[in-house]
A and B are shown apart, each in its own frame.
Chain A
Amino acid sequence: SQQGEEDPQALSIQEGENATMNCSYKTSINNLQWYRQNSGRGLVHLILIRSNEREKHSGRLRVTLDTSKKSSSLLITASRAADTASYFCATGQNTGGFKTIFGAGTRLFVKA
Chain B
Amino acid sequence: SQTIHQWPATLVQPVGSPLSLECTVEGTSNPNLYWYRQAAGRGLQLLFYSVGIGQISSEVPQNLSASRPQDRQFILSSKKLLLSDSGFYLCAWSRHYEQYFGPGTRLTVT
Q: Which residues of A are at the interface with B, using a C-beta cutoff of 8 A?
A: 2, 4, 30-31, 33, 35, 40-45, 48, 88, 90, 92, 96-105, 107
Is B103 in contact with A42, judged by CB distance below 8 angstroms?
yes
Indicate the size class of the contact surface on chain B.
Answer: 20 to 34
Is A31 in contact with B43, judged by CB distance below 8 angstroms?
no
- From known contacts A41-B103, A99-B49, infer whether A48 and B43 are also in contact, taking CB-CB under 8 Å: no
* Cα distance A103–B103 in the bound complex, in angstroms: 19
Is A45 in contact with B100, judged by CB distance below 8 angstroms?
yes
User: Which residues from A are CB-within-8-Å of B88?
Assistant: 40
Residue of B with least CB distance to A96? B51
B49 partner, pick from A30, A40, A97, beta carbons under 8 A: A97
- From known contacts A30-B97, A43-B90, infer whether A99 and B103 are also in contact, taking CB-CB under 8 Å: no
* Cα distance A103–B46 in the bound complex, in angstroms: 11
Is A33 in contact with B97, judged by CB distance below 8 angstroms?
yes
Is A42 in contact with B90, judged by CB distance below 8 angstroms?
yes
* Cα distance A30–B49 in the bound complex, in angstroms: 18
* Cα distance A33–B44 in the bound complex, in angstroms: 14
